[in-house]
Amino acid sequence: NGTILRCSNTKELLEKHLKATGGKVLTRFPPEPNGYLHIGHAKAMFVDFGLAKERGGGCYLRYDDTNPEAEKKEYIDHIEEIVRWMGWEPFKITYASDYFQDLYELAVELIRRGHAYVDHQTPDEIKEYREKKMNSPWRDRPVAESLKLFEEMKQGLIDEGKATLRMKQDMQSDNFNMYDLIAYRIKFTPHPHAGDKWCIYPSYDYAHCTVDSLENITHSLCTLEFETRRASYYWLLHALDLYQPYVWEYSRLNVSNNVLSKRKLNRLVTEKWVDGWDDPRLLTLAGLRRRGVTSTAINAFVRGMGITRSDCSLIRFDRLEYHIREELNRTAARAMVVLQPLKVVITNLENGSILDLDAKKWPEAQADEASAFYKVPFSNIVYIEQSDFRLKDSKDYYGLAPGKSVLLRYAYPIKCTDVILADDNETVLEIRAEYDASKKSKPKGVLHWVAQPSPGVNPLNVEVRLFDKLFLSENPAELDDWLADLNPHSKVVIPSAYAVPELRNAVVGDTFQFERLGYFAVDKDSTPEKLVFNRTVTLRDSYKS
Ligand code: ATP
Ligand code: MG
Ligand code: MG
């Protein structure tokens, strides 16, 4: 007891600190395990881990686990996994709760020094008194009384809500965050990491700075909303004669047409507005990963924004899309998939004759590299997109129309010779066409397509999921009824698209460019019978309204 408090002069504190760090930069990334991490946390990690890495130091992954009600083992496990997926290696993994005993002893010391008192005001009273800059009636109770009551709080002898430990800060300050912030509260809730050992839990304001200090953090980096809490941060360390880290703030990231606050994400997930924390429409890191976005693209996006204090923090989603395309264009194999198949019968190709053609797999591959191509069957039954056929041709239209020719990419030009319509005289059931085996004709339009691999056998059937912005407004977090702003068409499922046989062996996480449709990733919902693909991003910016 008391070992932490022995040094009480600055020089001694600094020497002790330097001995612990060896003069190296030590930072921490302190997520609360009350949800999955999101793209805002990618920025925080870039700042915290990035600075330490750049300086040859280390960054703690520290679970800021002081609110047992909201925290879960599932989140703890996920956070560690996703931090590594983002490419960061924690110097050490710690928990604020690892320090509960130290923090408790420090609290006792704080009371002894006359800097904290046990209070009995209700939350409403605390609020009212703060607004009026009035002291709590318990503020000046004797130290011995507070010590005794704090001990009783710890032993579970006082009911939840009947007492708190408050720091005796400055009720006359201009800073609202100096009005005797709560240091400890009673909660008869077991803790996901500390078990049922404690029924008093420290607050963020009490625990964050003390743990930063105990871990010898050199630079404590956080988002700007904590700026007003800096005074309290230093007040407490000063009151306890503890080493003081350097605190520095940066602006919080927000992305258009989506929400990032974990409280909101939690509602979306638990009320099933989306399909879990890793729904590809969410900007959680798990959602982005499932959608096919790589950590490299996310980090490039964060780096591109810069780390500033300015509050230009609503970043358009298409800035992220740019980095995603940039990467997937280099790394995703090409393939062909038809989302809404329209049957084309090639009348001058014999039923049963299959031509084995080469299609380009990689964008910049050399023609002589075998791995640069995949085999694609061409037969007398070919499917094109319904949207690539029109009954009425026009000048600026490059798709197929009666009498018109298009090139089937990697195969042949075809010319539409006949159209089979349904009884409504509008719905196109089937197209008849002739192919140009000589490839002499050079049509302007080039289409993707998928053919029957053998007579009577349909092409590979896959499910494709297309995503659009999750919210209609740019900044839904601002709206009172933000849930009413959800885009009803944010997810479109195409249960049976046709794919080239090459895709048969794709596995979860593989990414592809489906020609003319965008970049896609294999989803975890895939089964041996049926692959499911998520569209990561379209080929060009389709985000403009
Ligand atoms: P939320 O409102 O999403 O719960 P939080 O700040 O409570 O956010 P934590 O898990 O406590 O979430 O955050 C861990 C670290 O990540 C903190 O340093 C926090 O400042 C930072 N962080 C959280 N959200 C963002 C964001 N949108 N942009 C940048 N940094 C963020
Ligand atoms: Mg937090
Ligand atoms: Mg939070």
Residue 253 Cα: closest atom of ligand 1: 28
Which ligand is located closest to the Cα atom of residue 37? 1
Show me where the domains of the chain are located.
3-250
* 32 is a catalytic site residue: yes
Gap from CA of 283 to ligand 2 centroid (Å): 18
Q: Spell out the alpha helix ranges (H) of 32-133.
A: 39-54, 73-85, 100-112, 123-131
Q: Is 369 a catalytic residue?
A: no
Active site residue 465: no
DSSP-derived pairing of the beta strands 314-315 and 254-255 = parallel
Q: How far is the CA of 191 from the centre of ligand 3 (A)?
A: 17
Residues with CB under 6 A from ligand 1: 30-32, 40-41, 43-44, 64, 222-223, 252-253, 260-262
Model ipTM value: 0.96
| Rounded Cα gap, residues 119 and 180, in angstroms | 10
Catalytic residue among 252, 343, 361, 390: 252
Ion ligand 2: residue ranges with CB closer than 5 A? 32
Tokens of residue 79, six digits: 């956070």
Task: Classify the C-alpha dihedral 467-472-474-480 as positive or negative.
Answer: negative
User: What is the C-alpha separation between 235 and 222, in angstroms, rounded?
Assistant: 18
Question: Could you list the pLDDT tens digit for every one of the 545 residues in the chain?
Answer: 444 555 567 888 889 999 999 999 999 999 999 999 999 999 999 999 999 999 999 999 999 999 999 999 999 999 999 999 999 999 999 999 999 999 999 999 999 999 999 999 999 999 999 999 999 999 999 999 999 999 999 999 999 999 999 999 999 999 999 999 999 999 999 999 999 999 999 999 999 999 999 999 999 999 998 889 999 999 999 999 999 999 999 999 999 999 999 999 999 999 999 999 999 999 999 999 999 999 999 999 999 988 777 766 688 999 999 999 999 999 999 999 999 999 999 999 998 889 999 999 987 766 667 788 999 999 999 999 999 999 999 988 999 999 999 999 999 999 999 999 999 988 999 999 999 999 999 999 999 999 999 999 999 999 999 999 999 999 999 999 999 999 999 999 999 999 999 999 999 999 999 999 999 999 999 999 999 999 999 998 433 32
Class of domain 3-250: alpha beta
Strands of 341-346's sheet in order across: 446-447, 405-408, 413-421, 428-435, 341-346, 381-385, 450-451
User: At which residue do the structure tokens 């990689």 appear?
Assistant: 362
